[in-house]
């Protein structure tokens, strides 16, 4: 029988360490430091969740508190990147929640791709590129020749440069069928590379959803599993801007556990599962 994995060193204690109460003075200090160090505006994230995660992250690295974490991260670029990854949680995969992708394809992409000369899609918070390349694969399967432009943006430069590489390990390819691998990827040793024709459909760009201006006239905006730690006002502001960035009739596609309360006040209407539509 396999021995269950047990973390070693400080990480072993992190799971059992009590979570400290939110200290608002220390949190404000953390927010100031993180803005300077990582360029992230924590005032628009839910403080209790961020505080819990930052403390857990510090404890797991044998550091007593967020102040010590920030002090070390200033001089330790590996820790700084891990800190950024933890705050932005770039977990993702191809065809994440397949039934939702099927609905996007059948109900929305098909009519767009069959009736328009060009379709514009934005993958906002694209992580390592799984989402924009999922969009590219679905679009090509529906309409092999229609022009499809996919803008893929993320806050994290390191994540973006890995996404631009468009190369994935066997484990990262879990959601991709054999047929899709054969059609859209090229095998290179133990890695899988997105074929240039598919890669050419996607433009990667750095963009902070909390402060940067958004492009306009998208047919589809995917923003999935990105805003979970944003405050409610920050989310409402973002969704209003998304509505403005969609063309009339365009569709906003959220993550499986996300929804928009009072969606009509923001100018959108519910359109099944986690889809919202800008009225046409």
Ligand X SMILES: C[S@@+](CC[C@H](N)C(=O)[O-])C[C@H]1O[C@@H](n2cnc3c(N)ncnc32)[C@H](O)[C@@H]1O
Among the listed residues 27, 54, 131, 136, the single contact to ligand X using CB under 6 A: 131
Sign of CA dihedral 266, 35, 79, 156: positive
| Residues 255-274 contacting ligand X, CB under 6 A | 255
Does 89 interact with ligand X (rule: CB under 6 A)?
Answer: yes
Does 224 interact with ligand X (rule: CB under 6 A)?
Answer: yes
Q: Which stretch binds ligand X (CB under 6 A): 54-62, 141-149, 224-232, 271-279?
A: 224-232
Among the listed residues 34, 226, 266, 268, the single contact to ligand X using CB under 6 A: 226
Please, what is the minimum distance in Å from the beta carbon of residue 203 to ligand X?
15
Q: Which stretch binds ligand X (CB under 6 A): 53-61, 104-112, 171-179, 206-214?
A: 206-214
Q: Which stretch binds ligand X (CB under 6 A): 10-18, 189-197, 205-213, 267-275?
A: 205-213
Specify the residue, 55 or 159, whose C-beta has the smaller distance to ligand X.
159
Among the listed residues 91, 118, 182, 217, the single contact to ligand X using CB under 6 A: 91
| Residues 14-53 contacting ligand X, CB under 6 A | none
3-state secondary structure the chain: CCCCCCCCHHHHHHCCCCCCCCCHHHHHHHHHHHHHHHCCCHHHECHHHHHHHHHHHHHHCCCCCHHHHHHHHHHCHHHHHHHHHHHHCCCCCCCCCHHHHHHHHHHHHHHHHHHCCEEEEEEECCCCCHHHHHHHHHHHHHCCCCEEEEEEEECCHHHHHHHHHCEEECHHHCCCCHHHHHHHEEEECCEEEECHHHHCCEEEEECCCCCCCCCCCEEEEEECCCCCCECHHHHHHHHHHHHHHEEEEEEEEECCCCCCCCHHHHCCEECCCCEEECCC
Does 129 interact with ligand X (rule: CB under 6 A)?
Answer: no
Please, what is the minimum distance in Å from the beta carbon of residue 41 to ligand X?
8
Does 88 interact with ligand X (rule: CB under 6 A)?
Answer: yes
Q: Which two tokens stand for residue 265?
A: 């006040």
Does 156 interact with ligand X (rule: CB under 6 A)?
Answer: yes
Among the listed residues 38, 66, 95, 125, the single contact to ligand X using CB under 6 A: 125
Which residues are at the interface with ligand X (CB under 6 A)? 88-92, 96, 125, 127, 130-131, 154-156, 159, 207-210, 224-226, 255
């Amino acid at each position: 029988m396999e021995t269950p994995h047990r973390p070693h060193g400080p990480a072993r204690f992190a799971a059992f360490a009590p979570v400290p109460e939110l200290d608002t003075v220390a949190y404000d200090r953390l927010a100031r430091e993180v803005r300077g160090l990582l360029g992230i505006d924590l005032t628009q994230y839910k403080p209790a969740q961020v505080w819990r995660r930052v403390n857990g992250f510090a404890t797991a690295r044998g550091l007593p508190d967020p102040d010590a974490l920030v002090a070390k991260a200033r001089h330790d670029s590996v820790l700084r990147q891990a800190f950024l990854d933890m705050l932005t949680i770039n977990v993702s995969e191809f065809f994440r929640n397949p039934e939702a992708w099927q609905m996007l394809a059948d109900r929305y992409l098909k009519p767009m791709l069959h009736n328009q000369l060009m379709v514009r899609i934005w993958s906002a918070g694209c992580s390592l590129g799984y989402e924009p390349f999922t969009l590219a694969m679905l679009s090509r399967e529906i309409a092999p020749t229609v022009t499809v432009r996919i803008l893929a943006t993320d806050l994290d430069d390191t994540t973006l440069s890995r996404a631009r590489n468009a190369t994935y390990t066997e484990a990262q390819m879990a959601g991709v069928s054999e047929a899709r691998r054969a059609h859209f990827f090229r095998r290179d040793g133990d890695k899988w590379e997105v074929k240039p024709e598919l890669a050419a459909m996607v433009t990667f760009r750095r963009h902070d959803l909390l402060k940067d201006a958004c492009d306009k006239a998208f047919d589809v905006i995917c923003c999935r599993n990105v805003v979970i730690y944003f405050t409610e006002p920050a989310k409402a502001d973002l969704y209003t801007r998304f509505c403005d960035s969609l063309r009339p009739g365009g569709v906003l596609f959220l993550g499986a556990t996300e929804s928009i309360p009072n969606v009509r006040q923001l100018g959108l209407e519910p359109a099944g599962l986690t889809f919202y539509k800008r009225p046409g």
